[in-house]
Chains A and B, each alone.
Chain A
């Protein structure tokens, strides 16, 4: 062979190592400018989320740093208009101590009060991005809300993927009774309208971040199951799997070491689409009070507060939550689309 091939090292290398699927996908992805920009935005958000989770940014989001509903401006408060001060009445106050039943205790209370040190906090008149109805910084809230909303969406997508992939792999690989049973479970879940299924689970599971993750994962795995099952059916009789069987690979090894890596791109794409859907679902659940607890903040709870603030003309919390969510979700969906195009060109154009 070496006599036939030119003695060119680079070519020989290229012939020996064919381009891996991930490598090829990355090459295609790099050519997609929209995909790259959205990847950068998503990574930026992820960095923000990690910082916020570590308590490096927005850890003080619950502090009331401004006055209630502080308006957003970088210019500082407008100069207070001088209003004609109401004249302080001159002359001595009327002495009420002989009729005031509390009068003998005023002195005692004053002394008691002196034992406690009080600090005057200066509350800002305006904040760069505005304050909510308690005077908390909307920007810090939006960052913290991003952390919770994205965490819930991604965790739920991860759990749904585990359930869907596991069941799909078993159903597709084994066929027969196992497959029939899983198809039955799938049909049962599919026949209940999704929102009702979520409500039914929400009624029994309770509130909190973990509950939302559980609810969304338990109700959202069906699409993933269906797709992974179809892929496993397609792959289980392919030559490479049969060769693996011939050399004595166990069932588990064939399923997860041979087939799974070959269908992982499908799973990844479907998972990123799931995450987008779950983030939007979390926002709605939190708005309805079925989501995160009251001492936490998510985009959904921000929007819930924003609704009553808007009537009073305080639009900034609505704007902050909407903007953060719109930018992240747009970037994430565009990135998922770019991944899909790069990983599986056959699926291009699919919703």
Chain B
């Protein structure tokens, strides 16, 4: 186990180096001149030169790369170009809002999609199954935007069940007042693809010999479904949840934009629109690190879900 962990962590290093290089060179050679971004349209040549010197842009590339790596390791990204807010502070203040919305979305998505998927997979080929498959196909083809635009209009504006948008300082108030509508809409959007995915995982298992054996032994359908099939389908399900997990930290930026939630996703989008490079670079690199760790955790979870899995 320890050897496995060490080797996995060791393997992360080249990938991480790649991410750093990709982000560095992407912004260095394709991103336009930061000095011109910062100086604005009316900056004189001397001002531009001064900014270049201040940012260290006149240093050799390798020195700049070294500074970049130092920033990553020390978590010191300096300040946002647009708002002068420390980038680390930006993370600390925006992340709670994102998590307040995203964690309920992820939990509800799994809790709702899995039972529906089990139900339709169990009754494969029935009218219910076919109806749900057609409904999900159509639901998938409608843009996420439409759900949010119409949902916000109907439930927030017309019916007035929820505030149209807003956010407060109290976590509890956010959770019960402001989060329900965005969460509900995001879950509604996520439900169709998730249900289809889980259905296909479960169908794979339902066709296996052990299901027939369990039924032949006289197991009740409940035991067959929940103890045998679900346990065996756990690996693809865990993989899928693991793939979505990094997303909860960037948040659904669309949801955050629509509902004015001061989260990380909206901040990244603002940064893109303002060419605020430090913010984008920092988010990209830390999220990549986080993704790698979540992948590792997912692999470890396989072992818990299925003792036959050998970690090597």
Contact = CB atoms under 8 A, between A and B. Distances in A.
A199 B272 contact: yes
A213 interface: no
8 contacts: A184-B15, A191-B16, A191-B291, A202-B272, A203-B27, A203-B275, A204-B30, A300-B143
A283 to B, nearest CB: 5
Interface string A332-350: 0110000000000000011
Interface string A253-285: 000000000000000000000000000100110
Interface string B261-286: 00000001101110101001101100
Given A187-B14, A200-B26, 11 more contacts: A184-B14, A185-B18, A191-B15, A191-B16, A199-B280, A203-B31, A203-B272, A204-B31, A303-B145, A327-B141, A334-B137
Given A188-B19, A204-B32, A289-B273, A196 B284 contact: yes
A290 interface: yes
B242 interface: no
Contacts of B254: 284, 288
A185 to B, nearest CB: 7
A195 interface: yes
B140 interface: yes
Interface in A143-196: 184-185, 187-189, 191-193, 195-196
Contacts of A192: 19, 22, 284, 287-288, 291
Nearest to B138: A330
Contacts of A200: 23, 26-27, 280-281, 284
B26 A195 contact: no
The 8 closest A-B pairs by CB, nearest first: A188-B18, A329-B141, A204-B31, A330-B141, A204-B30, A203-B272, A187-B15, A191-B288
Interface of A: 184-185, 187-189, 191-193, 195-197, 199-205, 280, 283-284, 287-290, 299-300, 303, 306-307, 310-311, 318, 322, 325-330, 333-334, 349-351
Contacts of B275: 203
The binding surface of chain B is classed by DSSP as helix
B103 interface: no
A276 to B, nearest CB: 8
A325 B193 CA distance: 18
Contacts of B273: 289-290
Given A191-B19, A192-B291, A307-B149, A204 B143 contact: no
Interface of B: 14-16, 18-19, 22-23, 26-27, 30-32, 137-138, 140-146, 149-150, 153, 157, 193, 196-197, 200, 203, 246-247, 250, 253-254, 257, 268-269, 271-273, 275, 277, 280-281, 283-284, 287-288, 291-292, 295
A14 B79 CA distance: 74
B100 to A, nearest CB: 19
Contact of B283 (A184, A196, A202, A310): A196
Nearest to B196: A351
Contacts of A325: 141-143
A275 to B, nearest CB: 13
Contacts of B141: 325-330, 333
